[in-house]
Amino acid sequence: MSQDTEYIEIKRHELEEKVEERVREKVEEKESADNKQKIDTALSRRELLKLSGLGIGALSLSTLTSGWSVVQPESDGVSEVDVFSVNGHRLWVQDSAPSGPEVSDLWYSTSEAGSQGWVYIGNNSVVGDVAVGPSGDYVYSGDWYNGVHRIDVSNPSIDEWVYEGHSNSVYGVAAGPNGDYVYSGSRDEEVHRIDVSNPSQPDWVYTEHSDRVASVAAGLNGDFVYSGSWDYDLHKIDVSDPPQTDWVYDGHSDSVTDVAVGPDNEYVYTSSWDEEVHRIDVSNPSSADWIYTDNTGQVYCVATGPNGNFVYSGSYGEVHQINVDGSQGWVYTGYSKNVYDVAAGPNGDYIYVVARQDEEVHRIDVSNPSQPDWVYTEHSDRVASVAAGQNGNYVYSGDYDYKVHQISNIREGSIVYWDGSNWEGYQ
C-alpha cells in the first residue's frame, strides 16, 4: 500500500487534539515571526497535513463507527485554504469562515470568542431591542423608527420583512416560543402580535396600558404575554384573539423598565426606576413574592438564568446576581454608566451586558465575575440591547448607530459545522 492511500484509524477527540496542537504551534511560530501580529492567512494544505502529523498526500480512514475518516479533498478553487474531510465533512482550518461554505462543512476556529460576525444595517433608527427566534434562524429588532425587522441570520444583507404597524418607537420585542408570532411594545402604549407569515398588519393589538410599553416577554407555553409600562404596571395578557387582560400587577412606584419570565413559567421578574427588582408569582400576583432593593440607582433591565437559580439586574454601573430567594449573589462593576440590557446564555455559564456610553458588549463568567470574559468593541455608538442565541454560539446586539451586530461566541480551537444557516458546535 502506497503512502498516498495510507489508512489510519483516528477518533474525534484524537483528531481535535492533533489539529489543535499542530495548528497552535504553527500560529505561535507565525506570531513570533511577525512580531506577535494576528494571523490573517490560513495554513496551506501541505502545511496543514504535514504539521498535523497526518502525512502529505491523500489520506483516508476506514469507515468505522468508532473512528472518523480523514481525507484530503480537492481545492475549493477560490482560496489557498485547503481542508480535511471528516466522515464526508470538509474541515477548514483558518481564522474566518471559509468562502462559499457548503452544508456540513466543518471549521476549526483559530479566532477568539467575542469576534464580529456580520452587521445588519437595515434599521432606520436606534435599535431599542433585539430578540432571537426559538430556532435561532431569525433575529428580530425593534427600532425607534416604529419598525420591527426580521433578520435571516444566514443572509442578513436584506430584510426578511419589516413590520410598520406602530405609530411610535418600538421599545420591546419578544419571540413566541413556537416561532409563529412576535410581540412588540411601543411608545404608542400598545402591544402588537405579529404573525411572522403575514406581517403586513397586526394579528391583534392590546391597548390597556396608559403609558409607553417599555418591555414585552412571552410565556413559555405561548398562552400569555407580559408587558411592562411607564404606567408603573405589569400586565399579563391572554393571547387569545382578541387579547384579554388576565391580571395587572401594580406593586412598583415608578416605571417598569423590563420583564423576564422564569424558566419554570411560575414567576415573572420586573425591573423599575424605583430601584427595585420584583418577583411575581403568576398564580398570585396581588403582591410581590420578594423585592430586591440592593441595586444602586434606577434598574434598567432584568434577566433570568436558564436553570432558575439566578436572576440578573442592571443599574448604574453595576450588574447584580440575585439568588432565587431574593438575596444578593455577586455584583459586577465593569461599567461606568447605566447598564441598559442584560441577557443570560442558554447554558447559564455566561451573561451578556451592555451599558450606556461604553459602546461595548461584555461577556461575564457567572462563576468568576471579577472581570469580563471578553469585551466586544466593534460598535461605533452606544449599545442599547443584547440577546443570546439559542445554542450559545452567537450573541446579537443593537445600537444607537441603527445597527445589529452578530458576535461569535465560538472559542478558539472549537470544531464547528455549517448547517446551511449557522455555524453550529460539532458534538
pLDDT tens-digit series, residues 182-238 = 999 999 999 999 999 999 999 999 999 999 999 999 999 999 999 999 999 999 999
CA distances, 32 to each of 21, 45, 368 (Å): 17, 21, 31
Task: Please tell me whether residues 63 and 174 are part of one structural domain.
Answer: no
Quick one: pLDDT band at residue 30, thresholds 50, 70, 90? Answer: low
The more confidently predicted of residues 45 and 233 is 233
All three cell numbers of 422, joined, read: 449557522
Task: Please tell me whether residues 169 and 54 are part of one structural domain.
Answer: no
Quick one: pLDDT band at residue 160, thresholds 50, 70, 90? Answer: very high
Average per-residue pLDDT for the chain: 80
Phi and psi at 182, nearest 5°, equal -125, 145
pLDDT at residue 403 above 60?
Answer: yes
Task: Please tell me whether residues 41 and 122 are part of one structural domain.
Answer: no
Quick one: pLDDT band at residue 297, thresholds 50, 70, 90? Answer: very high
Task: Please tell me whether residues 44 and 126 are part of one structural domain.
Answer: no
Task: Please tell me whether residues 214 and 68 are part of one structural domain.
Answer: no
Buried b (16+ CB within 10 A) or exposed e, 302-336: bbbbeeeebbbbbbbbbbbbbebebeeeeebebbe
Task: Please tell me whether residues 156 and 236 are part of one structural domain.
Answer: yes
Q: How many CA atoms lie within 13 Å of 182's alpha carbon, on the beta-carbon side?
A: 31
Phi and psi at 222, nearest 5°, equal 85, 0
Task: Please tell me whether residues 280 and 386 are part of one structural domain.
Answer: yes
How many distinct structural domains can be found in the chain? 2
Please report, for the domain that includes residue 389, its CATH number. Answer: 2.130.10.10
What DSSP letter does each residue of 134-172 carry, written as one string?
TTSSEEEEEETTS-EEEEETT-TTS-SEEE---SS-EEE
Q: What tens digit of pLDDT does each residue of 94-106 get? A: 444 444 455 555 5
Task: Please tell me whether residues 103 and 240 are part of one structural domain.
Answer: no
Predicted pLDDT of residue 159: 84
Task: Please tell me whether residues 13 and 146 are part of one structural domain.
Answer: no
Task: Please tell me whether residues 401 and 333 are part of one structural domain.
Answer: yes
Give the residues across from 323 on adjacent strands: 310
All three cell numbers of 98, joined, read: 471559509
The more confidently predicted of residues 38 and 413 is 413
In whole angstroms, what is the distance from residue 201 CA to residue 197 CA?
11
Q: Mention every residue, 6+ apart, whose C-beta is less than 8 A from residue 249.
A: 233, 234, 235, 236, 270, 278, 280, 285
Task: Please tell me whether residues 187 and 89 are part of one structural domain.
Answer: no
Burial classification of residue 252, based on how many CB atoms lie within 10 Å of its CB (0-12 exposed, 13-18 middle, 19 or more buried): buried
Domain that holds residue 38: 3-111+413-425
pTM: 0.76
pLDDT at residue 9 above 70?
Answer: no
Quick one: pLDDT band at residue 356, thresholds 50, 70, 90? Answer: confident
Predicted pLDDT of residue 426: 39
Predicted pLDDT of residue 414: 56
Q: How many CB atoms lie within 10 A of CB 40?
A: 9
Task: Please tell me whether residues 97 and 140 are part of one structural domain.
Answer: no
Query: Are 170 and 186 spatial neighbours (Cβ–Cβ below 8 Å)?
Result: yes
pLDDT at residue 391 above 90?
Answer: no
The more confidently predicted of residues 345 and 29 is 345
Strands, E assignment, 308-393: 310-314, 319-323, 328-332, 339-344, 350-355, 361-365, 374-376, 383-388
**Which of 12-26, 44-58, 75-89, 214-228 bottoms out in mean pLDDT, i.e. has the lowest?**
44-58
Quick one: pLDDT band at residue 336, thresholds 50, 70, 90? Answer: confident
